[in-house]
Amino acid sequence: MLKKIFLFSVSFLFSVNLFSSDSFKYGLGLSIVSTPSYVGSKKQNTTVVPFPYIELRSKYINIDKDKIYNEFYNSHRTKIEFSIRGMLPADSEGTLREGMKDLDAIVEIGPKLTYNLVTKNLMKIDFEVPVRAAFSIGSNIDYQGLLGSLDLSYKNIIFNDYKLRFTTGLGFADKKFNNYYYEVTSSNVNATRSEYHSKSGYSGFHNTMAITKKTEHFWYGGFMKHYYLENTIFEDSPLVETNSALFYGLAFSYIF
């Protein structure tokens, strides 16, 4: 059932005709991104990939660089939108998951509630509550659980029209999602890896900072995101070798 909901939702989001959009801009560039194999792994992977710039505003769907969303409700202070984000796939080789199944790419899809706490000139502080269903995308599309967070977001325009965003928050996930990354079944037990099954609960403290700038023909930016895993529900998993995880990247794009 959840798989059908996912497929329907994606089909709905992408069924809109781009040429009927209110605003559409596109470009192409490069990005360099460094990520751990999974949150809790010490292995860091650095990738250089093409960076497509897409900015779409329409009645049914909005795309803003790395975010796909559909706004359902927007009042003076409260906004509800439907958004998609994802996680890259990762090989188990060279990690504590050695010998276990590789991790597929994850697509997260669901609503986000935003409540504006403060607006002053170009500065905004928002309280955000995203709740998303996760699906692994490999040879099959499989439902992998629910996750969400309680976030505080600060946005401002600084220096010469640079956009600054800082987000801090607490994450939570159900046991199915936690077990996708941190479960060790009896068939995967070895001398350094005991059997482990996670529960639902607290999944970490996170901080994100991003700075971007857009001119007539160029967009460029960078981000850094840190996870702190102490006291998480899965902290005792034998697959967690560090309580700290860092994601960061730089990107630029030429806008046609």
| Separation of alpha carbons 201 and 173, rounded Å | 6
The count of structural domains within the chain is: 1
Q: In terms of residue numbers, what domain contains 86?
A: 2-255
Tell me the pLDDT tens digit for each residue of 129-153.
999 999 999 989 999 999 999 999 9
- pLDDT at residue 169 tops 60: yes
Tell me the pLDDT tens digit for each residue of 23-39.
788 899 999 999 999 99
Q: CA quadruple 65, 129, 59, 134: dihedral positive or negative?
A: positive
| Separation of alpha carbons 233 and 75, rounded Å | 36
- pLDDT at residue 157 tops 90: yes
pLDDT at 248: 98
Would you call 6 helix, strand, or coil by DSSP? helix
pLDDT at 68: 72
Q: Which domain CATH number covers 235? A: 2.40.160
Average pLDDT over residues 240-252: 97
Q: Which has the closest alpha carbon to 135: 110, 160, 167?
A: 110
8 Å CB contact between 207 and 166: yes
| Separation of alpha carbons 136 and 104, rounded Å | 6
pLDDT at 225: 98
Task: State what percent of residues in the chain have pLDDT above 70.
Answer: 90
For residue 160, what are its two tokens? 């010469």
Task: State what percent of residues in the chain have pLDDT above 90.
Answer: 75
Q: Which has the closest alpha carbon to 145: 113, 115, 171?
A: 171
8 Å CB contact between 229 and 206: no
pLDDT band at 76; cut points 50, 70, 90: confident
CA torsion angle 32 37 41 44 (round to 10)? -30
pLDDT at 65: 61
| Separation of alpha carbons 12 and 35, rounded Å | 31
